[in-house]
């Protein structure tokens, strides 16, 4: 069983620093991220990275510089992650689908299937096996003779293409 940190412990010192400097650090994170919600996450993730090194960086003004540099590097690291590149920040909620197709209706099912048939073969197979046949990623990979990562990427690309095709069809219709 561990004992709580004493008044001279680095963790208490860190908590005091964060309590005092949080507004300034959050302003920096907002300047870097450009979004208040991302800035909150960015500051939190950066402070998590700073805490283990806290004992070696407590030197007045150098501390702020170190934490700001950590925030900036953390943001750059986040932007390099492929899943973050497609994120779009907006002030409002996304629009809800007004007309989700009812696949029990033969006409609407034919329209959706027509869009699926327009996909490249691997994407079409992945989408059909995952959503029409309701197979898991592993089962789909076994059927297609590929890795689960390939199934995931083909499914993702196929769904993105279906969304584009559906939007184009809605605009044309």
157-163: long-range contacts, CB 8 A cutoff, minimum separation 24:
157/123, 158/119, 158/123, 158/124, 158/126, 158/127, 159/127, 161/118, 161/119, 161/123, 162/115, 162/116, 162/119, 162/127
Residue 143 CA to residue 129 CA, distance in Å, equals 9
Q: Chain centroid to CA 6: how far?
A: 38
On the question of pLDDT at 31 being above 80, the answer is yes
How crowded is residue 118: how many other Cβ atoms within 10 Å of its Cβ?
A: 13
Residues 24-44, mean pLDDT to the nearest whole number:
90
Q: For tokens 């920040």, what's the residue?
A: 89
The per-residue pLDDT for range 51-65, each reduced to its tens digit, is 998 888 866 668 888
Domain with CATH 1.10.10.10 in the chain: 106-172
Split at pLDDT 50, 70, 90, the class of 5 is very low
- Could you tell me if 85 and 79 are in contact, meaning their C-beta atoms sit under 8 angstroms apart? yes
pLDDT digits (tens, 9 = 90+) for 87-123: 666 666 665 555 555 556 666 667 777 888 888 888 8
Quick check: 25 and 8 in contact, CB under 8 A? no
Query: pLDDT-derived band of residue 132, with 50, 70 and 90 as boundaries?
Result: confident
Cβ proximity of 67 and 59 under 8 Å = no
- CATH 1.10.1740.10 in the chain: give the residue spans: 10-84
The percentage of the chain sitting over the pLDDT mark of 90, rounded to a whole number, equals: 28
Q: 134 burial class (0-12, 13-18, 19+ CB within 10 angstroms)?
A: exposed
More confident residue, 86 or 166: 166
Average pLDDT, the chain: 79
Least confident of 22-26, 33-37, 51-55, 78-82: 78-82
Return the CATH architecture of domain 106-172. Answer: Orthogonal Bundle (1.10)
pLDDT for 40 equals 94
Residue-level pLDDT at 22: 94
Task: Give the pLDDT confidence score for residue 76 in this predicted structure.
Answer: 87
**Which pair of tokens denotes residue 23?**
């507004």
Reported CATH class of domain 10-84: mainly alpha
The model's pTM is 0.46
Q: Which of 102, 3, 14 is nearest to 55 (CA)?
A: 14
| CA dihedral angle for residue 111, residue 113, residue 119, residue 125, rounded to 10 degrees | 170
Name the least confident of 24-28, 42-46, 52-56: 52-56
- Token pair listed for 75: 């943001």
């Amino acid at each position: 069983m561990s004992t709580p940190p004493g008044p001279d412990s680095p963790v208490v010192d860190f908590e005091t620093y964060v309590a005092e400097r949080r507004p300034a650090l959050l302003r920096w994170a907002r300047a870097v991220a450009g979004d208040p919600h991302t800035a909150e996450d960015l500051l939190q993730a950066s402070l998590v990275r700073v805490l283990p090194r806290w004992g070696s960086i407590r030197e007045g003004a150098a501390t702020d510089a170190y934490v700001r540099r950590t925030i900036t590097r953390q943001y750059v690291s986040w932007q390099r992650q492929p899943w973050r590149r497609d994120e779009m920040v907006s002030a409002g909620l996304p629009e809800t689908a007004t007309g989700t197709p009812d696949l029990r209706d033969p006409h609407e099912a034919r329209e959706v299937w027509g869009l699926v048939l327009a996909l490249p073969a691997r994407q079409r197979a992945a989408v059909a096996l995952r959503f029409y046949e309701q197979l898991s990623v592993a089962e789909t990979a076994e059927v297609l003779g590929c890795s689960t990562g390939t199934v995931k990427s083909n499914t993702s690309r196929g769904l993105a293409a279906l969304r584009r095709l559906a939007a184009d069809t809605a605009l044309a219709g």
